[in-house]
Structure formats: C-alpha cells, structure tokens
Chains A and B, each alone.
Chain A
C-alpha cells in the first residue's frame, strides 16, 4: 500500500514536469546546439574554399612562383608602378594587391597590402606568413645557414600520450580529448545538480505555500511525499539526459548523411591524424579538428562504464543535494525567503565546480583525490577524473562514501522537512532548524 502511494507521487511529479513546454524546449535545444558545435567546424572545413586572387609587385625580386603557394590564394606577379597598379587591381578582378619593397630584408615593414573591400584576417595572415618565411630564409642564408639546414629545423612535434597502469598495461590516451570529455561531464553535472535540486525545492515551496501539504500528509507520511518528489524529479532529469543523448546521436547522424561522402573523407582524414604516426599534414589542419580528439578519446575510454558512472553520480549526487534543497524549501514560505538558506547548499556545488578546474589539470593530485572522495564534491570531481582513468578501489570508495553521505543528508533533511512543512508565520533561523532535528514525532 505504501509503495503504491509513493509510486503515485512519483508519477504525478514526473508527468506534470514532463508535460511542461519548458522541458521539451530544453530537451530539444541542447542537442541542436551540440550538433551545431559538431557540424559547423566540419562544414567550414569542407566548404569549397573560395580562392582569392592576389596581384603581387615584388620589387626585391626574391620571390618565385613556388614560394607563394596557398590553398586559398592565387598569386599573379606583375610589373609596373605601385601608384597606378593600386588603382587598377580591382578592375582587373583581383581581391588584393601586395607590394614588396626592394629593401624588404632590411625594411620588412615596407610590405603593403591593398584591397578593395576590407580583407579578412586570414588573407592578411597567409600573405604575411608567406612573405615572412621567405625573408627569414633569406636572412639565414645571408648569415651562412643553408636552406637545407633551415628546412631540417622545421620539425613538427606530435607527441602521443600513453597511460601506463601499475600492471604495465599501456593505453594510448589523449589528454586533450579526456579533458574535453571530463569538462563536458563536469559541467553537465554542475548544471543539472543545481537545476533539478532547485526544482525539488520549488516543488516543496509550492506545496507549502498553496497549503495543499496538509491534505497530502493526511494521506501519506511526509517522508513518502519527499521521496516520491525527489525520485520523480530525478527521473525527469534522467529522461532529459536520455533525450539529449538520443537526439544528439540522431541529429549528428542526420547531419552526417547530409554531408555524405565528404564527411566520410573528412573523418578518415581525422583518423589518419589520430594514428599519430605521420605528421605530413600541416599542423593547421590538426588544430582545426577538435572533433578528432573527441573521436580518439571515445575510442580509448570505456563508454558503458563512463555512462553508468555518470548516471550513478548524477542520481545519488542529485538525491543528496535535492534532499537538502527540499529541507530548505520546507522551512520557508516563498522562493525569495529561501534565498537566505540556499547559498549553504549551493556553496559545495559551486566549490565542486572550482575544484574541478584543478582536477581537470592534474587528475592525480591530492586535491583531485580528496575532491573526488568527499560526498559533496565527489560527483563532479570523480566524473572529471574518470576519463583519465581512476583505480577501481578509488571509484568504489568514492561511490560508497557518496551513498553514506546521501543517507546522512536525507536523515537530516527528512527531520527538518517534517517539521518545516507545517510551520507557518515563523521567521526561521539556523538555530530553529537545528532544534527541529530533535523534535519528536
């Protein structure tokens, strides 16, 4: 009979929230945003680049055709007077006109770029880079360093990070990718703990201020109402995660189909970079593909374990915090009155988030270890550490401590709650809340 009533409460809390428009808006918006973040760089990378035509007047005579090679720029050498040419290049169909002075090696500032419209930063940078490379080469040559030596100094470092566990097992890891994954999970946890915790608090305040609470608790025990509410709202959170995951995967698949072959090529290219053994591709294209890092980390981590741990840390962490939020909601009569108490619950959440900034930099430090053990900070910090790899005993200890922390907090909260929901017209103080803990029946 009691179970049935809790189920009824869970059902009501769940359905009334899931039917709200705001739930669907946030459920749809987030995947669209994520897809956009994923798709726009690919789209930009794949978009047929418009080749800009640049007319160049090289008075120094140092540049040859194959010194000026760029995917996006086509250079045409010209002769004549700068004064006349700078008036005429646009009508000849050039996007820009570049002059290099005769004494460019001693006067590198003498290079001018003319353009009809405001030229983009990338054009300016590309041109400058090409000119600068040549100038540097020439200056080194003058100083007696051959162009072969110069070429041989152009090395590209692309290190591969490998995690060596104590039993000597090596896993190729990508600290950059792990950092991205850790950052995303840490932020989502931070955000959802606050969001759903305060939803529970507002639900409690609504029941108290609308006075329906007395009718409800003449049918069920306060702890049943509290438990039903927390579980119901928590399930709303899980539903939202599920929608986010399914919709994000679905949308990225659709975008993938939309790009068709191009994406495939692009992805194989990304994979090639991933293999990490070749550095023939320019460093620029690597910087352009953060998705390759994510792809890499997704391949090297145990996804089902991460998802299971994430759901565990969300749900238990959420239960811990929302029970405290509920206790605050029960003690006050309006949301504004609640503000004086909510900071005490928000401080550990915000602190977790700040600690996570350290944890993400140095996941095996002492701070990271303790932050991922202490129940209040462990949900966010353990999830941030997990993509880097965490010993199993630490994970189990952290989970156990979190469950114990939850039991402790819910005991305190339930005692405050059962007194608070019936207390009206009394200015509640911390001392008062302390007294409630020890009230009988």
Chain B
C-alpha cells in the first residue's frame, strides 16, 4: 500500500466533512475516488496533501506516518487550477518544480523532456497570459508530474480538455502508472472510472459507502441480467428466470437466485437456437446512483 487512511475525521464548524474514513490505496494502481459534490472528496485530498490536518485518525504514506517531508513525493492537480499569469511558462514550471524540492538543473532537464514529449518546445518563454485554456492545462499537468511523485492526485483532470488533449492526457497517465506511480483520481465522470481505474471508493455524506477492486465491485452489484440473441420463438415462461423485455430476436432476462449460467443456457436452448449470451455488467453510473440513493435513504 502506498497510502493507508485510517479512521480519519475532519470537522468544520458547521458540519462533519469526513466521518471515520478508512481507505487502502495500493501501489502502482489507478484509484478512483468517487462521490457527489460535497461528499468530502476535496477535504480528504487536502488532508493527504497536508494542506489541512485531520482532527483525528492516521495516514500512512509509503510505510511511514504522513509528514511534511512527504510533500515532495506527492503531485497534486486541483480541480480549480491556475498559474501566475504574468510569469513565463518555463520559469513558472521551474519555480513550481523547485518548490517540490528539485534542484534547478534537474528541473530544467526534466522539464525539457516534458516539453518535447508534449510537443510544446517553443512555449518556454511565452507568458502564461498568452496561452489558451488547453495549453494552460498542459502546463499545469507538467507542473504536477515533473518531480516524479510516488503518488499523483488528480482532481477532475479531464475537465476543460478537448478530446485530443484528453486522449493524450489519458495515455500519459497510463504511462506514468507503468513507471510505478500510484494515481488517485477524484472524479464523477463514470466513463473515465470504467476505462482507467483499477480500484474505486465511493464517498457519500462524509463516509466511505463502497470500496474495492473495480471488477469485484461490479460483480457485487450485478443483478443476474443477461442479454440473448436467438432464432425461434421464446416462450413466455422460462424455468428459473424472468423475461424482462423482448425485442425481435433478442431479449433481456433476469435469472432467479441460485441458477447458474449453464442451467440457464440449457433451459434456453431447449426452446430456441441461442446465437449470443451475454451477462450485463452494471455500469458505474448505475452503481453510483444506486449506492448514493440507498445511503441517502438511510440518512
């Protein structure tokens, strides 16, 4: 584990932002931190970044209690981001890299690599004021990763990116993961979660309401629903399952509890020619909405 969060509590004067949060974030994985607005994600991220301190609880970073010396090993791209408008791109990145503990010469050589990699070689002396929004996003991304942190915290990284740059960013994130960096992703875009994340945790009303490995979580929420494509006439009653809908030569079925796929298939092929049989994996969007609604109902 690169990061263990144990029983972390954070109170603000008028509300409880984090209520005994427990999370384990494995090394070299992409970890999705999900939750509706105001659930407590930003509070948690700020605590990991040591911008604020928890009221109680413990955080273990790379085997040691989190302390100020670790800030240089964390890279943070906040959701609301900005740069010094009057500074030039190069000197600004150099400044931010040095604030993360890099030496000047090391920072210059690493920055030059990034400028080549992202194809922005001639930006060094451009004032930030002259950059488009997308260009500023690239600059900010470099500032977040140039010191090669062990933990990269990205808060809604794709917001504001056009599809081409978003794709480039996705590739870079995967490449960084390959090099052994852990990425903590805060988002409510479920398609990115499905595409990139290895593990997820869902926070709602200051509590972790769901956590685990991505496919395991999906399995937990699957409802034994299948889609089939077939030839022939499907009888209205099938043993061990219900027909949810029929559309021409395809149908959606829900199996009863305790029925295996093999049993279902043998029942189906006794009536029709089965062309296709596919389990419907619940989307994270559905899981998200379901879990949030359930937990809201308990409140």
The contact sample of 12 A-B pairs, CB cut-off 8 A, is A16-B84, A214-B76, A215-B77, A215-B78, A215-B143, A215-B144, A217-B51, A218-B49, A218-B51, A219-B100, A435-B13, A440-B53
8 shortest A-B CB distances, which residue pairs? A441-B53, A211-B82, A210-B82, A219-B99, A218-B49, A218-B76, A214-B78, A212-B82
Given A218-B49, A218-B51, A441-B53, 12 more A-B residue pairs with CB atoms under 8 Å apart are A5-B101, A16-B86, A206-B85, A211-B80, A214-B76, A215-B77, A215-B82, A215-B96, A219-B72, A220-B71, A422-B51, A441-B52
Q: Which residues from A are CB-within-8-Å of B68?
A: 2, 221
User: In chain B between 119 and 153, which residues have their CB closer than 8 angstroms to a CB of chain A?
Assistant: 140, 143-144
* A440 and B55 within 8 A (CB): yes
Min CB gap A121→B, angstroms: 52
A220 to B87, CA, bound (A): 19
> Is A12's CB within 8 Å of the partner chain B?
yes
> For A215, what are the chain B residues with a Cβ–Cβ distance below 8 Å?
76-78, 81-82, 96, 140, 143-144
CB-CB under 8 A from A206, the residues of chain B are 84-85
Could you say which of A212, A217, A220 contacts B83, with CB atoms under 8 Å apart? A212
* Distance, CA A215 to CA B95, complexed state (A): 12
Determine the residue in chain A with the shortest Cβ distance to B46: A422
Mostly helix, strand, loop or mixed at chain B's interface? loop
Q: Is B74 an interface residue (CB 8 A)?
A: yes
A218 and B100 alpha carbons, distance in the complex (Å): 9
Residues of B in contact, count (CB < 8 Å): 34
Question: A249 in the interface, Cβ–Cβ < 8 Å?
Answer: no
Q: How far is the CA of A217 from the CA of B71 in the complex (A)?
A: 10
Query: Assuming A210-B84, A211-B82, A214-B80, is B51 touching A219 (CB within 8 A)?
Result: no
Taken together as a complex, chains A and B put the C-alpha atoms of A8 and B95 apart, in Å, by 8
- Interface residue ranges of A199-222 to B (CB < 8 Å): 206-207, 210-212, 214-221
Residues of A within 8 A of B (CB): 1-2, 5, 8-9, 12, 16, 206-207, 210-212, 214-221, 422, 424, 435, 439-441
Q: Which residue of B lies closest to A440 (CB)?
A: B55
Query: Given A217-B51, A218-B71, A219-B100, A210–B13 Cβ distance below 8 Å?
Result: no
Q: Does B98 contact A (CB under 8 A)?
A: yes
Residue of B nearest to A421 (CB): B51
- Check if A16 sits within 8 Å of B87, measured CB to CB: yes
* B140 contacts across to A, CB distance below 8 A: 215
Q: Is the CB of A219 within 8 A of B71?
A: yes
Which residues on the A side are within 8 Å of B95 (C-beta)? 8, 12
C-beta contact mask, B144-176 vs A, less than 8 Å → 1, else 0? 100000000000000000000000000000000
State in angstroms the CA–CA spacing of A212 and B55 once bound together.
Answer: 26
**In the complex the two chains form, is B52's CB within 8 Å of A210's CB?**
no
CA distance A120 to B121 in the complex (A): 70
Chain B minimum-CB-distance residue to A1:
B101
A19's closest neighbor in chain B, by CB? B86
Closest to A441 in B: B53
Query: How far apart sit A441 and B46, CA to CA, in the bound complex (Å)?
Result: 12
Tell me, in angstroms, the Cα distance from A379 to B178 when the chains sit together. 59
Q: How far, in angstroms, from A68 to B72 measured CA to CA in the complex?
A: 88
CA distance A220 to B72 in the complex (A): 9
CA distance A215 to B82 in the complex (A): 8
Closest to B54 in A: A441
Q: Which of B227-263 contact A (CB under 8 A)?
A: none
In the complex, A314 Cα to B46 Cα: how many Å? Answer: 37
The interface residues of chain A lying within 8 Å CB-to-CB of B98 are: 8
Residues of B within 8 A of A219 (CB): 71-72, 96, 99-100
> Distance in Å from the Cβ of A4 to the closest Cβ of chain B?
8
A214 to B86, CA, bound (A): 18
Closest to B100 in A: A219
Most buried by B among A206, A210, A220: A210
Per-residue interface assignment for chain B, residues 30 to 68, with 1 indicating a CB less than 8 Å from any chain A CB and 0 otherwise: 000000000000000010011111110000000000001
Residue of B nearest to A5 (CB): B99
Please indicate the chain B residues that have their CB under 8 angstroms from the CB of A9 in the complex.
Answer: 99
A221 neighbours in B (Cβ, 8 Å): 68
Inter-chain CA distance A2–B72, complex, in Å, is 12
Which chain B residues border A5 with CB–CB below 8 Å? 99, 101
Q: Which residues of A contact B71 (CB under 8 A)?
A: 218-220
CB neighbours (8 Å) of A216 from chain B are 96, 99
Shortest CB distance A238–B (Å):
22
B72 — which chain A residues lie within 8 A by C-beta?
A: 219
Contact A214 B99 (CB under 8 A): no
Min distance, Cβ A317 to any Cβ of chain B, angstroms: 28
Report the minimal beta-carbon distance from A250 to chain B, rounded to whole angstroms. Answer: 31
Inter-subunit contact B13/A212 (CB<8 Å): no
Q: Which residues of B contact A440 (CB under 8 A)?
A: 53, 55
Check if B99 sits within 8 Å of A210, measured CB to CB. Answer: no
List of B residues within 8 angstroms of A220 by Cβ:
71, 99
* In the bound complex, CA of A219 to CA of B52 (Å): 13
What residues of A have a CB within 8 angstroms of the CB of B99 in the complex?
5, 8-9, 216, 219-220
Closest to A20 in B: B86
